[in-house]
Amino acid sequence: MSEIAFIKMHGAGNDYVFIDGFATQVPPSPEQLARSVSDRHFGIGSDGLIVMSPADHADVEMRMWNADGSEGAMCGNGARCVALWMHLQNRVSETCQIQTASRVVAATAVELDRSRNCGILSVDMGPPAVSSQSERLSDVHLPGTDSDVEFTPVSLGNPHAVVFVDDLTDRVVRRVGSQIETHSRFPDRTNVEWVQLVSATEINARVWERGSGETLACGTGACAAVVAAIQRGYCSADEEITVNLPGGRLQVRIDEFGHLWLTGPAKVSFSGLLNTAD
């Protein structure tokens, strides 16, 4: 048996087990470890695994695996947690440059409470890629209707399908979310955002994440939801948009360069040692 030091952190309830590769040897099979630690009954319990390692052209490299062991390209809540940890370890002073599988993002601490191991952080997620037109899945229907599911495709280095609905019910989010995630339209699967409009500056959302199922929050999902809402004229591009998720509230805005800024909480829950077989 061997032991691996880990940190459990979350951003608005979107929780991950983190391995600090600066201080701990990275396990050889992270996809297998992700499945093990994510199990909420027999493991630590999380939405996935994130490994932090030294990077050549950034302050830290972040790689993430979903609960099913599949590797993801981007995680906004995870990036805020990585930046929080780098600040708490005094490895960065101001902006934390994070190399992800899809792009380099920059995270800044808006508030930092070292005594409680938490903070509010803002991440420059870069520019999104959004279709000028919505699409329909003719073979997927909302419960109790014959209506095709209409969605707006958005990419932030990972794929999203944003669906606007009147009610965020479990049978819509969970049952239809899994159908859309694995639909043939998305050969690499997709994240699905269910969005309910509140006002021009506020939306409610639930997210069915690719490889993890529904999570309490999704940073890139919140960004995708705002991008789609602006694209369709529901929200203003000149305002900061509040995204209410089951795990908390995130803020999303688009700057003058077309970059998305994601602001929200990050917190260390606990740390420990995980026993693994050699």
pLDDT attached to residue 183 = 97
Relative to beta strand 159-164, strand 14-20 is: unpaired
Does residue 278 surpass a pLDDT of 70? no
What does the pLDDT average to over 209-215? 97
17 neighbors 24 (Cβ within 8 angstroms):
no
Write down the pLDDT at residue 254.
96
Pair 4, 274: CB distance under 8 Å: yes
**Mean pLDDT for all residues in the chain:** 95
Which band of pLDDT confidence, cut at 50, 70 and 90, is reported for residue 105?
very high
pLDDT (mean) for 54-70 = 97
Predicted confidence at residue 146, as pLDDT, reads 84
Q: Which of 9, 35, 54, 17 is nearest to 273 (CA)?
A: 17
Mean pLDDT of 165-185: 95
Strand bridging mode 60-66 / 71-72: antiparallel
pLDDT at 262: 98
- Give the C-alpha separation, 164 to 205, whole Å: 9
At residue 225's C-alpha, the angle toward residues 224 and 226, to 5°, is 90
Determine the average pLDDT of the residues in 182-194: 97
Residue 220 clears pLDDT 90, i.e. is over it: yes
- What's the confidence (pLDDT) of residue 256? 93
Q: Which residue carries 């947690």 as its tokens? A: 81
Question: Could you give all domains of the chain from N- to C-terminal order, each with its CATH number?
Answer: 2-125+264-276 (3.10.310.10), 129-258 (3.10.310.10)
Q: In this predicted structure, what is the pLDDT of residue 275? A: 86
Contacts of 133 (CB under 8 A, 6+ apart): none
Confidence label for 243 from pLDDT (cuts 50, 70 and 90): very high
Span 84-104, pLDDT tens digits:
999 999 999 989 999 999 999
pLDDT at 223: 98
| Nearest of 237, 173, 169 to residue 208 by alpha carbon | 173
Percentage of residues in the chain having pLDDT higher than 70 = 99
Percent of residues, the chain, with pLDDT higher than 90: 91
Tens digit of pLDDT for each residue in 14-31? 999 999 999 999 888 999
0.85 cut: is pTM over it?
yes
| Active-site amino acid positions | 75, 218
Are 12 and 217 a contacting pair, CB within 8 Å? yes
Q: 76: pLDDT confidence band, cut at 50, 70 and 90?
A: very high
Q: What is the pLDDT of residues 121-174, one digit of tens each?
A: 999 999 999 988 899 999 999 888 888 899 999 999 999 999 999 999 999 999
What is the residue-wise DSSP string for the chain?
Answer: -EEEEEEEEEETTEEEEEEETTTSPPPS-HHHHHHHHH-TTTSS--SEEEEEE--SSSSEEEEEEETTSPEES--HHHHHHHHHHHHHTTS-SSEEEEE-SS-EEEEEEEEEETTTTEEEEEEEEE--EE-SS-EEEEEEE-TT--PEEEEEEEESSSEEEEEE-S---HIIIIIIHHHHHT-TT-TT--EEEEEEEEETTEEEEEEEETTTEEES--HHHHHHHHHHHHHTTSS-TTS-EEEEETTEEEEEEE-TTS-EEEEEEEEEEEEEEEEE--
Range 247-260 average pLDDT: 96
